[in-house]
Amino acid sequence: MLKYLFSKEEDIPPGTAAIFFGFSSIVWFVLGTGLGSFNAAKLAFPDFVTGIELLSFGHMRQVHVLAVILGWISMAFAMTMMYITPALGNTKLWSEKLGVWNCFLWNIGLGLGLFLLWNGVSSGREYSDMPWFIDLVVIFGVLFPLGINVWMTIKNRRTQGIYTTNWFFGAATFMVIVVFLVGNMPEFFNLTGLTEAYLTWWFAHNVLGLWITPVAAAISYYVVPKVTGNPLYSHRIGHLHFWSVVVFYSTPAAHHLMSAPLPEWLKSFASVEGVLILVPAIAFVSNLLLTMHGKWRMFVENVEIKYTITGVLLAIPLNMQGGFQQTRAINWYVHGTGWIVAHAHLALLGFSTFLEAAAVYYGLQVLLRRKVYSLSLANFHFWMLLIGFSTYWISMTIAGLIQGAGKIYEVPYIDVVIAEHPYMIARWVGGTMVFIGNVVWMYNMWMTARAGTPIPAGRLPHELAYER
């Protein structure tokens, strides 16, 4: 990788940046889920590793969260943007060199930020925990170069129209920069009080709503038609999805602070807008499932489609929960409980991760021109992710309902802790399965690069039979 940092643009093979991003994202995924599993063990067994400052829960929790969001998910996004955006524009990436530098700075910046966070250097604001100078690195060293590459590639396309996926890519890279700039203003300008509290959650909401959700969806708009060979069911429904994300997902930030003393009109407005999230959700899910028409056997036979459609199907419970749990009628019961933790993992580990994993599998095979080393290991990875995630989600949902009941019926808190204990163990088991699956995935992709069956020009990876 270092070799290409100082190469001439024309000496860098197309796809280099995407390959680097792909492998980086897998490594961050392994790290992030490993930390998650370790943290979960501490919640189940508090004396598991004890008395060491750097290995205490409070020092590692945020490292897990940001490693998976900015390491795994966002780098997988960057990887997909680096190969899908040019492919859909029938052109090359605007600057392969910028992409390589972007990946390099991203790994350095994120590594530094997480190292500081791990040592307790935190702004004390959830999801925007990184101190402001790391935020500046993220904005100007990571997101801005990514955006420039995506926008310029779209501008230099050799097709007449712009496909759905690229609307989302272009808009989301712009919106996430706005979100980072505005959402970190409390740190840049030391804003205080409710403004700080509100902007913290404005940031957290919009990073999910204007970055993770639309980009994950955009990826599946590419993968499903490409792999199945079916055209997208409806571009008009795609339009509906895009515009309703911009309008409805950018507005309900205040629903994260339903029980804080924010202006009442803001909470009511956020709650109503929050239900409207069902509009883009239904548009997205129906569009993708209808695209599968006549190709449903691929849901069983093809690993990329298996991942993608599982992610799309998980968007159904995700948005049903998300739309309704934030209304006052339900939020008073589940707010601040494990239910929300389960929901967050449904969004990031369920819905989003499955869509990105498909694109990383597919992209690495296409870019390396090698078929995945072992389909059995890929299937093993799939089932470890799905069963591990389901164990986690179900156990944390139950734990959350117990906590909610404890909250409403004024049960002494320690009794809630005792009641939750079995579910904490289940959560640890689920998280560990995900981690093990990811280690296997890392091995599988490494071996794909080294020993995968070469794919002849003009063929897609899944069209090839296995030789071994």
Q: Which amino acid is at 453?
A: T
Q: Is 320 in the site for other proteins (CB under 8 A)?
A: no
Q: Is 208 in the site for other proteins (CB under 8 A)?
A: no
Transcribe 210-222 into DSSP letters: IIIHHHHHHHHHH
Query: Tokens standing for 369?
Result: 């021109």
Of the two residues 308 and 397, which places its CB atom closer to other proteins in the complex? 397
Provide the minimum distance between the beta carbon of 159 and other proteins in the complex, in angstroms, as a whole number: 11
Stretch that binds other proteins, among 84-92, 254-262, 360-368, 438-446 (CB under 8 A): 254-262
Provide the minimum distance between the beta carbon of 46 and other proteins in the complex, in angstroms, as a whole number: 4
Rule CB under 8 A: choose which of 52, 300, 329, 465 binds other proteins: 52
Query: Tokens standing for 358?
Result: 């498909």
Provide the minimum distance between the beta carbon of 117 and other proteins in the complex, in angstroms, as a whole number: 10
Alpha-carbon span 14 to 217, nearest angstrom? 25
Residue tagged 């904490």 (tokens):
424
Q: Is 51 in the site for other proteins (CB under 8 A)?
A: yes
Of the two residues 154 and 318, which places its CB atom closer to other proteins in the complex? 154
Rule CB under 8 A: choose which of 413, 422, 450, 463 binds other proteins: 413
Alpha-carbon span 264 to 270, nearest angstrom? 10
Alpha-carbon span 103 to 295, nearest angstrom? 36
Size of the site for other proteins (CB under 8 A): 79
DSSP state at residue 452? P
Q: Is 90 in the site for other proteins (CB under 8 A)?
A: no
Provide the minimum distance between the beta carbon of 261 and other proteins in the complex, in angstroms, as a whole number: 4
Q: According to CB under 8 A, which residues from 221 to 250 bind other proteins?
A: 243, 246-247, 250
Q: Is 253 in the site for other proteins (CB under 8 A)?
A: yes
Transcribe 24-92 into DSSP letters: HHHHHHHHHHHHHHHHHHHHHSTTSS-S-GGGSHHHHHHHHHHIIIIIIIHHHHHHHHHHHHHHHHTS-
CA nearest 321: which of 307, 341, 306, 294? 341
Percent helix, percent strand, percent coil in the chain, to nearest 5: 80, 0, 20
Strand partners, 370: 454
Q: According to CB under 8 A, which residues from 120 to 179 bind other proteins?
A: 120-126, 131-132, 155, 160-162, 171, 175, 178
Q: According to CB under 8 A, which residues from 345 to 404 bind other proteins?
A: 403
Residue tagged 């156990």 (tokens):
395
Q: According to CB under 8 A, which residues from 56 to 85 bind other proteins?
A: 56-59, 61-62
Provide the minimum distance between the beta carbon of 143 and other proteins in the complex, in angstroms, as a whole number: 16
Of the two residues 50 and 379, which places its CB atom closer to other proteins in the complex? 50
Provide the minimum distance between the beta carbon of 144 and other proteins in the complex, in angstroms, as a whole number: 18
Provide the minimum distance between the beta carbon of 305 and other proteins in the complex, in angstroms, as a whole number: 30
Rule CB under 8 A: choose which of 141, 145, 186, 225 binds other proteins: 186
Provide the minimum distance between the beta carbon of 126 and other proteins in the complex, in angstroms, as a whole number: 6
Q: According to CB under 8 A, which residues from 325 to 354 bind other proteins?
A: 332, 335-338, 340-341
Alpha-carbon span 40 to 345, nearest angstrom? 13
Query: Tokens standing for 293?
Result: 């028409």
Q: Which amino acid is at 333?
A: Y
